[in-house]
A and B are shown apart, each in its own frame.
Chain A
Amino acid sequence: MEIDPLIKKAIQESCVEAGISNCSLPITKLIERFVSNELQPAQINSSLQAIYQLMKDSE
């Protein structure tokens, strides 16, 4: 299920404010799949690891 465009805007702004604008897309995808119950715990883990790596790269 695609999330509401206003939620996407909120994610984007939150990422920019946190100084990790490059994480906006993967976080949007994570939220989208999480809200649709598409993710198993292992998949949540791998998605989070990818996001953490991107966050580290931004610092």
Chain B
Amino acid sequence: MFVSISGWETKGLRCPDMNVSFEKTALKNQINLVLMPNGTGKSTIIELISTALTGNTLNSENISSFKGNDNLEDVGHFILHLKLSQEKDRVKSITFQLNFDFISNEINFFTKQDDTVGLEQGWHAPVALQPFLNNKCVEVFVFKGDKVAHLLNKERNDAELAIKAFFGISKIEDLNSSIEDDFQSRKKTGPQTSQAETQRKNVLFRWYERLKELEEQKLNVEKYLETIEKEHEQKKQRYEAIISGQKSNQVKLTELTSKKNKAISEMSSASIKMMSAIRNPMFISDKIQNKLLNLKQNLDKMKLPGTSIEFFHELAKQPKCICDRDIDKNAEKSILLNASTYLSDDHILIVNGIKKDIQTYIDKSNDQKDENLLDALKNASENFIQTNQLLMRHLNKIKDDATQDEKVVLDDWEMLTANIAKARQDLDGLLADDISERTASSGPESACNSVIVAKKVIRLREEELAEISNNKEDFYLKEKLKNIIDNTITKSLDFISDELKNKSNEKLKKILVRGTRLEILSINKSLQIGYEGISQKDASGGQSVSIAYSFATSILERSGIQFPLIVDHPVTALQTSARRGLGDNLAKICHQFIGFVIDTEKEGFLPALRESSKNLNLITIFRPIEGNIPYLQKLPKDSKLSVKTSNGVICSDYQFFEDFTDLNLAEGEKSVL
């Protein structure tokens, strides 16, 4: 099924009132560029499209921020028109309308299922689309902010989340909770329990409560992180503009940031090695090493018996001894009594195990000492402190060279960056798997601060409880089924990732300059890139965009529902040649593309699109402010090509689009219409 956006209407919102239609050309293989100078409301429209597609309302603070500055009424609306088509079926229309009430800060959703029926209250997506119209899926085809970088960032799992959302794998993950709930509900209806069982149940209950607390903490941190990351992205453009305005400072900042990242990576590697080493007590103290070596030497001297206690126990049960003498009751008693002076098979194994372990750890600690781990960690830490100090000093210099307004932006950016780092650290802690369930289980549940460890302790405690209650069989069946579901999820991700990798690489070959040695090597949480098995850390801006678009469109194709690709600033980071390459091939990789651009993105991109795309729509939207008078005067005479509203001009003339240059005027200037 193909889902296309045929247009939208806005009134009273944080963007000009407009009625945009893409129906001028066929909707298939359609490329649309919407040129809007900064501050005209590109992000607002993209946010509105996402909200209309998911039916998820915004929080009241967000709703109030959507009100247009010049809106004297307390209402506004956004209408999104979609066309749904299948190869042989007729085209179906669907419209989602969002009515904003700025007094109660609410959005009321309405749906129009077809042109022949009226508006119906509520958000009612067609059944076939419902599994895909949620935040996670919509994020796959609506590119906002740093989406491209996020898909390739090894520290993030955006690519995996996209696959999970589009193929219903996130929902399969929820099945394990339902299996668990079902097991718990059946357990409650079981027979009377013993005191030991009640005690264990109480302990288990406390762990369930702790897990609930930790999961709530995790959810809160994730939500907070999402909010501040969004804010960070929104402010990025302003921050980068300030930095790029200070040319000499910008070069040094890039250099110092790269040095700091390298120092962090070296320090992280040295601390991992050190952490692993200090788990070995012999590495810490020579005294311990010597004592243990002494113990080993003594154990080596100890002559372990060739036979074990088990041999004599078996012998005592025989009617005759190996020397053919009869074993009567007295002989049996005597053998059993003397057997206790021999070690059992288990004891012999333990002694041999101790000897082997001491030797292994002595060898390991000698290797670790040879590596001078402590010095390496000390050097890495000192290097990090020095680099960080230089970077901080330079950031202060940037602030000194900035205007008062710019300083506010820089401070804000710094605070947001620090908050993001802290939130990520908190999240890592909540997802740490750094302590065994047996160790955690022996302490109080309040000391456990990881969701993963708490889950493992619960699994252990449940198993113990099942052993002493009559739930043993049910417990193991439930665990076996949960393992099958987990295994299914892992395998599904592997199979789908592998197929998507191949499909994306086929598309990439079409987009990248012939002979470019770059492909997706694997999809493991993020998109891992390289060539012929050799991984590559980074790609150029153009290559990264090509990889991300190929991946997103491959997911859409594979899922059977082809949504349009909606992109904010599609080619900002690209050089002219890369823009040309992307423009030449965009129509080949997606069935509808809507790119929100500024005037500087036309270079290279527009000529290529003009040559390669038959169904091209070029729309210019700007505010009719004083500085834009030259453009108002240049509007085409054909009234069908441009529409003026009280706070906006929407022009679909190609030449006008081509000639339009942003005069960078401040938003809020008085309208001249």
Q: Which residues does A use to contact B, with CB under 8 Å?
A: 1, 3-4, 6-7, 9-11, 13-15, 17-18, 20, 23, 27, 30-31, 34-36, 41, 44-45, 48, 51-52, 55-56
- Whether B492 pairs with A6 at a CB distance below 8 angstroms is yes
Q: Are A18 and B131 in contact (CB under 8 A)?
A: no
Q: How far is the CB of A53 from chain B (nearest CB, A)?
A: 9
B480 within 8 A of A: yes
Query: What's the least CB distance linking A42 to chain B, in Å?
Result: 10
Looking at the assembled complex, report how far the CB atom of A28 sits from the nearest CB atom of chain B, in whole angstroms.
Answer: 9
Q: Are A4 and B167 in contact (CB under 8 A)?
A: yes
Say whether chain B's binding surface is mostly helix, strand, loop, or mixed: helix
Can you pick out 23 interface pairs between chain A and chain B where the beta carbons lie within 8 Å of each other? Answer: A1-B168, A4-B559, A6-B495, A7-B167, A7-B488, A7-B492, A7-B495, A7-B496, A9-B495, A10-B487, A10-B490, A10-B494, A10-B495, A14-B484, A14-B491, A15-B484, A18-B484, A20-B480, A20-B484, A27-B481, A41-B178, A45-B186, A56-B473
Point out the residues of chain A lying under 8 angstroms from B495, CB to CB.
6-7, 9-10
Q: Which of A10, A15, A51 is B492 in contact with, Cβ under 8 Å?
A: A10
CB of A56 within 8 A of CB of B172, answer: no
CA distance in complex: A55, B179 (Å): 15
Q: How far does the Cβ of B295 sit from chain A's closest Cβ, in whole Å? A: 44
B440 contacts chain A at the CB level, 8 A cutoff: no
- Nearest residue, chain A, Cβ from B183: A48
Looking at chain A's contact residues, is the secondary structure mostly helix, strand, loop, or mixed?
helix
Pick the most buried of B181, B474, B481, B499: most chain A CB atoms within 10 A of its CB: B481
In the bound complex, CA of A13 to CA of B480 (Å): 14
Beta-carbon contact of A35 and B492 below 8 Å: no
- Contact across chains for A1 and B487 when beta carbons are under 8 A apart: no
CB < 8 Å neighbour of A44 from B172, B178, B488 = B178
Q: Is the CB of A48 within 8 A of B496?
A: no
Name which residue of chain B comes closest to A45, CB basis: B182
Report the separation of the CA atoms of residues A2 and B178 in the bound assembly, to the nearest whole angstrom: 20
| A44 to B, closest residue via Cβ | B178
> Could you tell me which B residues sit within 8 Å of A by CB distance?
131, 167-169, 171-172, 174-175, 178-179, 181-182, 185-186, 473-474, 477-478, 480-481, 483-485, 487-492, 494-496, 499, 558-559
Residues on B with beta carbons closer than 8 Å to the beta carbon of A20: 480, 484
User: Within 8 Å CB of B169, what residues of A?
Assistant: 7
**Closest Cβ of chain B: how far from A1's Cβ, in Å?**
6
Which of A11, A48, A52 has a CB less than 8 Å from the CB of B488? A11
Q: In the assembled complex, which residues on chain A have CB atoms less than 8 Å from the CB atom of B489?
A: 10
Given A14-B487, A18-B484, A52-B481; A35-B499 close (CB under 8 Å): no
B131 touches A52 (CB 8 A): no
Question: Smallest distance from the beta carbon of A10 to chain B beta carbons, Å?
Answer: 4
**Beyond A9-B491, A55-B477, 17 additional pairs, beta carbon < 8 A:** A3-B168, A7-B496, A10-B488, A10-B489, A14-B484, A14-B491, A27-B481, A34-B178, A41-B181, A41-B182, A45-B185, A48-B182, A48-B481, A52-B474, A52-B477, A55-B480, A56-B477
